[in-house]
Structure 1
Amino acid sequence: MLTDKEISQIREELDNCTNPLFFFHDDPDGLCSFLLFYRYIREGHGIVFKSKPGLGIKFFRKVEDYMPDKVFVLDIPIVDQEFLDKVKVPVIWIDHHKPLDRNKVKYFNPRISDKDDGTPVTRICYEVVRQDMWIAAVGCVGDWFIPDFFERFMEDFKGLVSKNAKDPGKIYFDTKLGELIRIFSYILKGKTSDAVKCFKILTRVETPYEILNKTTPRGKLIYKRFKKINMEYEELLGEAVKHAGRDKLLVYIYRENRMSFTGDLSNELIHRYPDKIIIVGREKGGEVRLSLRSTRKVLPPIIEKALIGVEGYGGGHEYACGANVRKEDFDRFVRSIRDQV
């Protein structure tokens, strides 16, 4: 976790802007980080970041379009120096992936002081704003992290999770809170315009029950969008589980004419098959975009070695990583992982 001084510095930056621009990662941790900050300040604009590998110069046009007085980058592991050099307003970057060396940015990352501290960005943002606990819970557990406020959350928001729940996987797939996490994840899928419409609605939703119980028009709209996307997810999941056999790897690849569910699928597959290494990929533009999961093997060094002689990149957390490799190199990449485990 960041220090009290660092939290105060972030709060001061947030309190002293009138038109911030928020770039956030397209997963529950990134979305909830944005929601916590936006709902606190009620100013600015959000940009969901779906590109790989990092926030590059092509996104500078968004800065030109919105003319912000400050830029916040939330849960995005890589920001190119070229982008930072072009932006002429303060940039505040909050992340929890492997620390990088950059100039012209105020960079906050718990791994700088403790390489093993992967506290989700949502938890950091909640410490800054101290409101909307239910959104903070969604982002934290969505990143497979049980926050220190979880007992109080269970008391304040009845019926979302069973008492004494401690396993993120079971919460994710067996509780109402887990359903809410999946809702937050799925509404970012598909067309960017649809994702923007949904996360704008979330800036106004007052309670989780509004969505889960469909008690308001906006709650009904969010849930309807989730149910539609979930149908495609369930089809892909049904195909993926057929690839589970005696092999220590579970590898499932699908084509780009389906939505991107690699992270969601890999999360559920590692929950169902904790003894395997999960590799889920989506073919797009001659590349395979991958999500990898494990419960026992630390993935970054394995991926780093597998990328030797392969056109691609990858990395992430200890047991949850992403990668992108050229389609022609994919089999070689997988063989290297299999040889290492």
Structure 2
Amino acid sequence: MGLTPTQVKQVREELITCKNPLFLFHDDPDGLCSFLLLYRYIREGHGIAVKSVPRIDEKFLRKVEEYSPDKIFIVDVAIVDQYFIDEVKRPVIWIDHHEPLDRAKVKYFNPRVKDPKKNVPATALCYQITKNDLWIATVGCIGDWFVPDFYKEFAKQYPKLVDKKKKTAPEILFGTELGKLSRILSFMLKGKTGEVMRCVKTMTRISDPYEILEQKTPRGKFIYKKYEKINTRYEHLLKSAIKNAGKDKFLVFMYSANEMSFTGDLSNELLYRYPNKIIIIGRKKDDELRMSLRSSKVIIRDVLQKALLNVRGYGGGHEHACGACVKEDDFNEFLEILRKEMG
């Protein structure tokens, strides 16, 4: 699907020859499911969610000291600083699908290096490697708005979780039990790091999706209860955001840092509900606005980079889905540039 047979063999060899790996993964369903596939393949090592900004820098060096891994696997993280790679002084295996970066001393597996248009979620790449846990692989792909070639096999094994009338990734994500499972995993990653990692550890032991959806075991109930708790807060924000959807081509909604970070989840669902709009969802924290931007019609990544040249901020991502952080005082200018370029 994305990796060559040689690359699949290389990563498998890296996995089966390690004793104490450290897995660093992006804190969304794609990143989590990528980690789960690799970890459950060898049942060794530790996982750490890369929260807030999908970037691994010198701050993660203390985690390397703490766990003293023999290898480091990085999945679904857009940016890894060269300084981090240089300082860890051990093998780094990086599996990703974001815009390729040039880094030394790392084993880098990204299909977009050879084919920039081949944007396959990290979960699908990891499933190529492990060929285990079909349900986890499918959940991660749908959570990244991607229908994998193994979706039909999933539908055969888990017919209750799909709807034959739902064909596209957003239809599946927001209209089936499979999509609900993806949201459960997304909400599981919200909150304090300790609580999140307890949920992640629990997920490494879940045997099938019904264990969660039907709360068949204490483990499944633990995950589902966390989802219910978070979903109440999410639905409140979603209703507020929908009120901002007028005739304007842009749907802009900002909320307080007192709430959890739902910018990605909100922007995805609002794009599904309003496919012709450009969605900008931001969370105020300190003197910054941390945003998720979505559009099904416009390639926003290039426009975003142009807008960021004129303000204090940073950002990036995929063609139709980006993240950005801008100083609150600069937001009006930032939005004006986006309107001019995309209006």
TM-score band, normalised by the shorter chain? over 0.9
- Amino acid in structure 1 at the alignment position of 2:198: K
| 1:275 counterpart residue number | 276
- Number of equivalenced pairs: 341
Output the amino acid matched with 1:271.
Answer: Y
Cross-structure match for 1:202: 203
Alignment match, 1:266: 267
- Aligned ranges for residues 1-341 of structure 1 at < 5 Å? 1-52=2-53, 54-163=55-164, 165-341=166-342
Shift, 1:286, TM fit: 1.1
Q: Quick one: distance in 1 between partners of 2:3 and 2:319? A: 20
Q: Deviations over 1:217-266 (max 9, x none)?
A: 11011100100000000000011001101111000011101000000000
Q: Is the 8 A contact 2:26 2:54 kept in 1?
A: no
Give the drift of 1:215: 0.6
The one-letter amino acid of 2:111's match is: P
- Report the aligned-residue RMSD: 0.8
Q: CA shift at 1:290, angstroms? A: 0.6
How far, CA to CA, are the matches of 1:333 and 1:289 in structure 2? Answer: 13
* Equivalent position amino acid for 1:208 in 2: P
Does the CA-based 8 Å contact 2:253-2:282 persist in structure 1?
yes
* Structure 2 SS opposite 1:159: helix
Segments ≥4 residues shifted beyond 3 Å? none
Q: What per-residue deviation string (whole Å, max 9, x for no partner) do you get for residues 12-34 of structure 1?
A: 11111010000000000000000
CA distance in 1, matches of 2:206, 2:309: 47
Q: How much has 1:51 moved relative to structure 2?
A: 3.6
User: Contact 2:166–2:175 (CA<8 Å) still a contact in 1?
Assistant: no
TM-score by length of 1: 0.99
CA distance in 2 between counterparts of 1:61 and 1:131 reads 32
C-alpha distance in structure 2 between counterparts of 1:239 and 1:166, whole Å: 29
**Corresponding residue SS for 2:254:** strand
Letter in 1 for 2:62: R
Q: Deviations over 1:30-59 (max 9, x none)?
A: 000000011111000000001425100011
Q: 2 CA distance for matches of 1:296 and 1:199? A: 35
Deviation at 1:285, TM superposition (A): 2.1
| Matched position secondary structure for 1:281 | strand
- The 3 A distance-change label for structure 1 pair 17 and 53 is closer
Q: 2:101 is matched by which residue type in structure 1?
A: L
What is the letter of the counterpart of residue 212 of structure 2? I
Per-residue displacement from partner, 1:158-179 (whole Å, max 9, x unpaired)?
Answer: 2001125321111111110011
**Structure 1: which 5+ residue stretches go unaligned?**
none
* Separation in structure 1 between the aligned mates of residue 5 and residue 165 of structure 2, nearest angstrom: 29
Per the alignment, in what secondary structure is the counterpart of residue 69 of structure 2? coil
Judge which range, 129-138 or 323-332, deviates more.
323-332
In the alignment, is the contact (CA less than 8 A) between 2:61 and 2:88 conserved in 1?
A: yes
- Using the aligned pairs only, state the percent identity: 58
Distance 1:149-1:164 versus aligned 2 partners, 3 A rule = farther
Structure 2 alignment gaps of length 5 or more: none
Give 1:334 shift: 0.8
In 1, the alpha carbon distance for the partners of 2:89 and 2:82 equals 13
SS at match of 1:104: coil
Q: Counterpart amino acid of 2:297?
A: R
Give the deviation of 1:112 after TM superposition: 0.2
Matched-pair contact (CA < 8 Å) for 2:244–2:252: yes
Counterparts of 1:117 and 1:299 in 2: how far apart (Å)?
18
Distance 1:91 1:181 in 2: 28
